[in-house]
Structure 1
């Protein structure tokens, strides 16, 4: 029998779905790598998000043949040097569009409605009617034109926002008024009211959003990040915020998570934050299971060519 380890906070629910569909699986469940009841030596398939999966953990799984990431990004797995090159890796790409577009909208509306100020007013019982700016008529630059980026583009265009996409492979993409090559990011950032980053974490994307991008942005513009924290030069962002080179930011991801107590981002007044919950939605399991079942069916039939979101180990899904 194929031994599967589901390593996730809600592992039991994923396991129950797999047992219902596949009778020839031996399934182990663990809420964290610290669970000591798991027989790691037997694990052939690992289903996990990647957070907390360490190099030491992979050394305990000598029979591992396939990793199904529950997340779109697989950077947590790729950075582990002990993950053997011949281990198949598939991502959760394709299920995060609705969640990330709603997260972006939440952050943009938090900014435009000054949700921090509204909370302070409520706490102090202050009735202060302040005008707020519409999103309609504004320009948004979305860095990353994949599934999540396109979902964000469609939503913003429906709200009469002009949407410019930035991509390594510029092409016409539904949901965008235009798409430009990555080298033009500083140029289009200069025209943006919102620069929205949805890039996944990999070596090619490290600190793509840097001081040069912030220097080109208007003092009235905002930066939104729902991609990965290491795609942004966080110190350059902090400088831009402190010096009011940009008006503020809406951040769901950070270079170090949890965000350290000493980070200046906690106290900067025009920063709106959430604790990396853009992909943490209640319907996650029901959206992820069809992909897992489809890939498990192909894997058990020895049809790797029919599996979805296979990673070429340089970080690109095929």
Structure 2
């Protein structure tokens, strides 16, 4: 069985895989340009997902399983994959630690006026009148209650926050005081201090946050988006900030990435921009490949209980 990597992995990880699965044939490439020549013989493909196209899927005559070493699936050619009945799994859940830490640290930095303090430091300005806020005892709504959302809520509980989750099912989950469906979300927004979006990119989540949502939020609320930029349009968010409907927006993701150099978000005092890095961690590959290894054992044994099996019709 040929197991093809278009995802670049370290020599340490390559050696570990070859030692652990010595009976399998591994083809390690640094990108899809290199890997494309081996696609026709590959039974398993390990990729970051963004390098696949319908044409490439068409050339993968023996392909039965795609392991995506990321959680985002929005650029996958699912129609072509579905037609060939290819199994897809991903690395969902590995981002929960870095992204939850990012969420809490970003909210704390805004609440403790870090932006202004850095500016004062640069200007050698000793100003003790900067107004500080506490996050302890506040209320937080998390849109998206998967592994990342649950970890955000767990950390928020360390600050004695009241936490609310929003999901398609509204299913009750640990670390949330209440979980609701999207239709029920609006009634909670007037009480929220923080809104954190970790929504994936799907047709259901496009433009999830609307003008109405921002209008009912308290004007001191902080909005953080680290899921996908498509969850809220730049125009809606810009208008909400300009109208002082919210106090601050923390944007790790935006509609168009990279954010254009001339976009007004860059120069707005109450907007914090980071370049889609909330999930970055030195442990990323190790965690992703641990899921792959477990699934490879299952695959070799002709099992069916794969970790993070993707519903191709929904894209997640």
TM surpasses 0.5 = yes
What is the rounded CA distance, in whole Å, between the counterparts of 1:87 and 1:99 in structure 2? 31
What is the rounded CA distance, in whole Å, between the counterparts of 1:109 and 1:32 in structure 2? 38
Q: CA deviation at 1:13?
A: 4.5
Matched, 1:205 2:205: yes
Q: Which residue is 2:235 aligned to? A: 235
Does the Cα contact within 8 Å between 1:110 and 1:272 map onto a contact in 2? no
RMSD: 2.0
Matched, 1:196 2:206: no
SS in structure 1 at match of 2:275? coil
Does the Cα contact within 8 Å between 2:112 and 2:134 map onto a contact in 1? no
What is the rounded CA distance, in whole Å, between the counterparts of 2:214 and 2:61 in structure 1? 46
Q: Which residue is 1:183 aligned to? A: 183
Q: Which residue is 2:39 aligned to? A: 40
Q: Residue deviations 1:190-209, cap 9 Å, x none?
A: 21111111111111111111
Give unmatched runs, 5+ long, in structure 2.
none
Q: CA deviation at 1:227?
A: 1.0
Q: CA deviation at 1:183?
A: 0.5
SS in structure 1 at match of 2:103? helix
SS in structure 1 at match of 2:230? helix
Does the Cα contact within 8 Å between 1:107 and 1:251 map onto a contact in 2? no
Q: Which residue is 1:76 aligned to? A: 75
Q: CA deviation at 1:247?
A: 1.0
Q: CA deviation at 1:222?
A: 1.1
Give unmatched runs, 5+ long, in structure 1.
none
Does the Cα contact within 8 Å between 1:6 and 1:29 map onto a contact in 2? yes
Q: CA deviation at 1:62?
A: 3.0
What is the rounded CA distance, in whole Å, between the counterparts of 1:301 and 1:140 in structure 2? 44
Q: Which residue is 2:134 aligned to? A: 134
Q: CA deviation at 1:301?
A: 1.9
Q: Which residue is 1:25 aligned to? A: 24
Matched, 1:97 2:104: no
Q: Residue deviations 1:101-151, cap 9 Å, x none?
A: 101112111211222222222222222222310001211111111211111
Name the TM-score, length of structure 2 as normaliser.
0.92
CA separation of 1:286 and 1:57: change in aligned 2, threshold 3 A: same
Q: Residue deviations 1:17-45, cap 9 Å, x none?
A: 32121112222223333447842222221
Does the Cα contact within 8 Å between 1:197 and 1:224 map onto a contact in 2? yes
Q: CA deviation at 1:316?
A: 6.6
Name the TM-score, length of structure 1 as normaliser.
0.91
Does the Cα contact within 8 Å between 1:44 and 1:65 map onto a contact in 2? yes
SS in structure 1 at match of 2:141? strand
What is the rounded CA distance, in whole Å, between the counterparts of 1:211 and 1:62 in structure 2? 47
Q: Which residue is 1:245 aligned to? A: 245
Does the Cα contact within 8 Å between 2:78 and 2:315 map onto a contact in 1? no
Q: Residue deviations 1:165-214, cap 9 Å, x none?
A: 11211232110111122102222122111111111111111111122211
Does the Cα contact within 8 Å between 1:143 and 1:195 map onto a contact in 2? yes
Q: Which residue is 1:120 aligned to? A: 119
Does the Cα contact within 8 Å between 1:33 and 1:57 map onto a contact in 2? no
What is the rounded CA distance, in whole Å, between the counterparts of 1:171 and 1:83 in structure 2? 30
Q: CA deviation at 1:294?
A: 0.7
Is 80-89 or 31-40 further displaced after alignment? 31-40
CA separation of 1:37 and 1:154: change in aligned 2, threshold 3 A: closer
Is 167-176 or 254-263 further displaced after alignment? 254-263
